[in-house]
Chains A and B, each alone.
Chain A
Amino acid sequence: MNLNHIVYISRAVRPLTDQDLHELLEQCRRDNSKNHITGILFYSHGNIAQLFEGEPEITEALFERIKRDGRHSHVQKLIDKPIDVRSFPEWHMAFHPLESVGFSQLQGFLMPDRVPAPPDTLTIADAMLIELVRLAVFGPSTEPAFPSLPGPTSA
């Protein structure tokens, strides 16, 4: 099966509320599982970054839809290329909700500090890209000293 992944960053037109995020999460979870799209979205203080993977026709069409979405602007595609295997088993969204109650139970939601390390199936260049977009969205404070890049021994 042909697979592709796309990474972009963007800016929300205005800050997304818990309600906005919840709606986006529900809609994406529903549509992405229907379209066999997996990946992860980061959101914080209007900064958005997303990686998604799936069949090329679907990722292409999804990116076009997302790009036109009026909720954000300055959509900048960083990478769009074929991959051998998926690196994400599901679709997740990571952000800091104002009211964390309720969100923690929500399927598909992740606290930013619970985001797993980029899996080994990604090339180092792509894993670094994920680390950089994560840094761009959440800033350097959420780091526990870059645990997510594989150590030199595992390379």
Chain B
Amino acid sequence: MREQHLHALLHHLPAGVATLQGPDLRYGYLNKAMQELLGTDVAEGQCVADHPGVLPSDLVDVLQQVYHTGIPYVAKACSLPLPPQDGKESVSRCYDLVLEPVRDDAQEITGLVLFAVDVTQQEEARQRAHTLAMETRRLDARLRVLTETVPQITFSLDAEGLYEYVSPQWYYFTGQPPTADLNAIWPLLIHPDDRLRVLYQGDAARKAGTGWSYEYRLRRHDGQYRWMLSRALPELHAPDRPVFWHGALTEVHDQRELSDALRRGEAELRFLADSIPELIWTATAEGFIDYYNHYTGEYSGLTKEELGPTGWVNLLEPRKQAEAARQWVKSVAMGEPFEGLFRMRRHDGQYRWHIIRARQLADERGPRWFGACTDVDDQHRLREVLQVQYDELARTNRDLDTFVYTASHDLKQPLFNLRGLFEELRRSATFDDPEEEQLLSMVDDSLRQLDSTLQELAATVQDQRGLSAPVEQLDLRHIADEVLLGLRAQIQASDATVQVEVADAPTLLYGRANLRSILHNLLSNALKFAHPERPPVITLRSYLSANKQPVLMVQDNGLGLTIPKTPTTAFQPFVRQHPQVGGSGVGLYLVQRILASRGGHLEVSSSIGEGTTFTLHWFEEA
């Protein structure tokens, strides 16, 4: 019963068991595991040497030796190929093979017992452990090389804040001997102004179980303090309790000095920009405004947030905004400077003229825009006022010249008459008193003087104004356009329509300055004496009379005027037909005089409240 039990146990043992009997080592007992291992062509009674199954031939030799010497042997981790099973490919597994001699009562060796214990898993685990150990050693070596070659000082602290490791760079940097007591010396090398802060921050981070990053000055071997950046992270094993902190110390002295200088410079520039009473701003490369100076807020009454990255355009006149926006987008796209004259709204609603300029600065920090809006409102207004005054003066001056010319011309006839009368008087009258005789010659002198003065006066003005210039072939439309250009302000202001129809007689042989003066006077009168209830419509028509003589008609729809009985005295200088309207009154007088001097005449027809038509006959009909 007991033996049977033992037999069953042996048979099902997970290790292989076999007995080899006699000097030629024949298989005796084979349990199940051993039978499976050796394969089916191995059977009881066969010689091992003839049927080794999967056993390698050198093991067969060893079996022989164990039998002869009687010294047991263990072959560790032998790799044996398993016979193919159920079509599966054969795989190798590892076995510890134990060879034990079996002796009889007389201690003579009668055979061997062979145990095969499957150690594949242990073997694999051992292999893994080995590879891991190798890898760890390799990584360790690499880490060491790295920590000792990087320019940074690396360090490890334990939970108490005591230095566990510091890389050799620390010793080079500080000049301390390798025997130095790190924990005692290190705090002493920190700049006194930074020491408390650093110790506090380090402690706080360790208590909180977090990493840190701060800068402080550390004394170098030459006694100089250098700015260092200290960064460390905790090494966590249990989720909540770090045991080590590992970190690095990087010298950031130069960067720090530089960025200090930059920060200082930037703060100073910003202060400067904020002190200037001008709108100053900067924008990103993409064209979004990211800084408005203090004055911009003061001027616009808006905060930086209200203005926003593109809100500046809201400060412009609504009808100019789209154009300005397009111009800015284009500048940003092309990297071209921006410049424009715009009216910008002040906090009180008043618009003031500004020159807006922006330029792109490209440096190593990438392109940025710098802009300024300069208030030129006072200059602009002044210039406008000056321009108006200048135009007025120029006009008055021209009118006066023409007036002086024509007046001096007109005075010639009465002077001529006076001289005739005087000659007559001298011939017919007798004087008793010789002193009275002398009086005559004085009158004579004065008359002569008056004559030459008038001559000179006329000549001077004539030369200056070109009134006596030779006639030339003039393009009527061309001259009319020039004159209208000079009157554009008045035309715009009164919303006037001017029709120029010169196709029938497009040219005229006349003095240029004369024609211009005539057109200017007639057109400006028509604009001046416009009817208050309707915009002026003025027609200029040039045509040929029945006798092929050129005629110009100037018609308006204005107030109209009363025509005096005797046409010659129609237009006296300084007599104004419409006292409520400004003007010197010389205009029509001049027109008439110029026409007359060139052998033409002026016709007028008018009805009050409806309009006036002037007809200019340039030359007398033949």
Contacts and interface: CB of A to CB of B under 8 A. Distances in A.
Contacts of B320: 152, 155
Contacts of A100: none
Contacts of A23: none
A146 to B, nearest CB: 5
B310 A128 contact: yes
Nearest to A9: B286
Contact of B318 (A9, A133, A155): A155
Given A124-B313, A125-B308, A149 B319 contact: no
A9 B288 CA distance: 11
Contacts of A152: 319-320, 322-323
B333 A143 contact: yes
Interface string B298-337: 0000000000111111100011111101101110111000
Given A78-B309, A131-B329, A135-B333, A124 B288 contact: no
A81 to B, nearest CB: 8
Contacts of B28: none
Interface string A42-59: 000000000000000000
Nearest to A132: B287
A33 B333 CA distance: 34
Given A128-B310, A129-B309, A136 B322 contact: no
A81 B309 CA distance: 13
Contacts of B328: 128
A62 interface: no
A123 interface: yes
Contacts of B310: 125-126, 128-129, 132
Interface in A78-126: 78-79, 81, 123-126
Contacts of B332: 132, 135
Contacts of A9: 286
Contacts of A125: 308, 310-314, 321, 325
Q: Which of B311, B312, B333 has the most CB of A within 10 A?
A: B333
Contacts of A3: none
A152 B329 CA distance: 15
Interface in A126-155: 126-129, 131-133, 135-136, 140, 143, 146, 149-152, 154-155
Contacts of A79: 308-309
B319 A135 contact: no
A155 B319 contact: yes
A66 to B, nearest CB: 19
Nearest to A140: B333
A79 B311 CA distance: 10
Interface size class of chain B, counting residues whose CB lies under 8 Å from the partner chain: 20 to 34
B330 A146 contact: yes
A124 B309 contact: no
Nearest to B334: A140
B309 A123 contact: no
Contacts of B314: 123-125
A125 B333 CA distance: 17
Nearest to A135: B333
A127 B326 CA distance: 10
Nearest to B309: A78
A77 to B, nearest CB: 10
A131 B321 CA distance: 14
A150 B324 CA distance: 11
A131 B330 CA distance: 10
Given A126-B310, A132-B286, A155 B329 contact: no
A154 B322 contact: yes
Contacts of B318: 155
A78 B322 CA distance: 20
A149 B325 CA distance: 8
Interface string A18-37: 00000000000000000000
Contact of B313 (A78, A128, A136, A140): A128
A150 B332 CA distance: 18
Nearest to A47: B286
Contacts of A129: 288, 309-310
A128 B312 CA distance: 11
Interface in B248-289: 286-288
Given A128-B329, A146-B330, A155 B286 contact: no
Contacts of A78: 288, 308-309
B321 A124 contact: yes
A36 to B, nearest CB: 25
A140 B326 CA distance: 13
Contacts of B329: 128, 131-132, 135, 146, 149
A152 B322 CA distance: 6
Contacts of B330: 146
Contacts of A150: 322
A135 B332 CA distance: 9
A136 B321 contact: no
A149 B322 contact: yes
B566 to A, nearest CB: 55
Q: Which of B320, B328, B329, B330 has the most CB of A within 10 A?
A: B329
A127 B325 contact: yes
B314 to A, nearest CB: 5
B602 to A, nearest CB: 44
A63 to B, nearest CB: 16
5 contacts: A124-B321, A125-B312, A132-B309, A155-B320, A155-B323
Given A125-B311, A132-B329, A152-B323, 14 more contacts: A123-B314, A125-B314, A125-B321, A129-B288, A129-B309, A131-B329, A133-B286, A136-B287, A143-B333, A146-B330, A149-B322, A152-B320, A154-B322, A155-B320
Q: Which 6 A-B pairs have the closest CB atoms?
A: A140-B333, A136-B286, A128-B325, A124-B321, A155-B322, A125-B310
Interface of A: 9, 78-79, 81, 123-129, 131-133, 135-136, 140, 143, 146, 149-152, 154-155
